[in-house]
Amino acid sequence: QAVVTQEPSFSVSPGGTVTLTCGLSSGSVSTSYYPSWYQQTPGQTPRTLIYNTNVRSSGVPDRFSGSILGNKAALTITGAQADDESDYYCALYMSSDTSLLGGGTKLTVL
């Protein structure tokens, strides 16, 4: 079974820009996998940030953006803020009508 890969951790300075990536062990991630991104703070339910590669969910600030970079899906935060410190998860929709979730990236803002 394929595995979704994410950086275990990342740090960014306040006001800085960071790009988190989402890869697939079996090959390249494309828009055909409908990549989506979720933010989770400790003890909270995940919140949808991005779907269908680059569509921001309702109420999500425009400093969050999604894209395909090379062979991976990417989540970019431009102008990071302290409350962006969270875990970020990528999900891919597979042609077999199954879903794959990445292990998550712990983002530190300092």
The partner residues of 36 in beta bridges, in order of sequence, read: 91
**With respect to other proteins, which residue has the nearer C-beta, 76 or 94?**
94
CB of 74 to other proteins, least distance (A): 16
Separation between Cα atoms, residue 98 and residue 3, nearest integer Å: 13
Separation between Cα atoms, residue 67 and residue 51, nearest integer Å: 10
The sign of the torsion formed by the CA atoms of 26, 30, 31, 32 equals negative
CB 49 within 8 A of CB 38: yes
CB 83 within 8 A of CB 40: no
Selected from 5, 19, 30, 34, the binder of other proteins by CB under 8 A is: 34
Selected from 12, 18, 36, 107, the binder of other proteins by CB under 8 A is: 36
Residues 44 to 103 in contact with other proteins, rule: CB under 8 A: 45-46, 48, 51-52, 55, 57, 87, 89, 91, 93, 96-103
- Binding site residues, other proteins, CB under 8 A: 1, 34, 36, 38, 40, 45-46, 48, 51-52, 55, 57, 87, 89, 91, 93, 96-104
